[in-house]
Amino acid sequence: MSDQEQLFDLRAADDAASHPIRETPSEAERTHMRLCEALIFAAAEPLGEEEMAKRLPQGADLAKALANLKAEYFGRGVNLVRVGKRWFFRTAPDLAWALQREQVEPKKLSRAAMETLAIIAYHQPCTRAEIEDIRGVALSKGTMDVLLETGWVRLRGRRRAPGRPVTYGTTDKFLLHFGLEQISDLPGLDDLKAAGLFDGRLPKGFGVPQPNDGSALMEDEEPLGEEPLADAFASDLPESDAAD
């Protein structure tokens, strides 16, 4: 006999030993059972005995109706359960394995991540220093990690400049998520004004760059080669951030 079969036999023996003793309910008692069943089933949360008693006919034995109903559901896929003086239906514990499912829980990006993503989208390829210069605050490693993990941002290469800083750009997954065919479909300043995102009182000289897919308009870069992404990013951070 397999371990699974032995476990099934043990559960069956436990069920038989703990099965409540049932008496055949009268017609009136069955009506009271059905009323309780309907009330508990329709309740959005565990239903209290006082609430059920108010809805049963005068003289009805609520305790007996619930006991009979609990016995009725014993051994089924759904059981009647009591917590304190509240009752509710719950899936049988031994069937939990069959109902388990994995669900991806979406996480909302932080404001810092959204700002960084927007800067990369409009200014790509751009370096960490350029992102910090536009935002006016330091860029944490965690913020960039989140964007890299979503697959919306990638490491493009190294800028041919002193220090050879890493540059960042968006991916096809970014376009797919935001419903864009190409990066130039991002809204420009006129589009943002038309959408009511600016009230017209803009600083003198304020503008929104127009993204362009043409590689000739982007600064020259060097490929990262075989350098791991984590190492490439860490080398682009000051010691205090790279150690996090």
C-alpha triplet 168, 171, 172: angle, nearest 5°: 165
Q: Is residue 124 part of a domain?
A: yes
- Same domain for 125 and 185, yes or no, is yes
- For position 50, what pLDDT does the model report? 93
- For position 42, what pLDDT does the model report? 94
Last residue of a domain, one of 94, 126, 152: 94
- Same domain for 190 and 233, yes or no, is yes
List the structure tokens of 74. 């014993």
- For position 234, what pLDDT does the model report? 52
Q: Name the stretches of the chain with pLDDT < 70.
A: 1-22, 189-244
- Considering the entire predicted model, what is its pTM? 0.48
- Same domain for 89 and 182, yes or no, is no
Distance between the two ends of the chain, CA-based, in angstroms?
53
Residues 57-76 have pLDDT tens digits of: 988 999 999 999 999 999 89
- Same domain for 48 and 169, yes or no, is no
Cβ atoms of 165 and 236 within 8 Å: the answer is: yes
Cβ atoms of 233 and 154 within 8 Å: the answer is: no
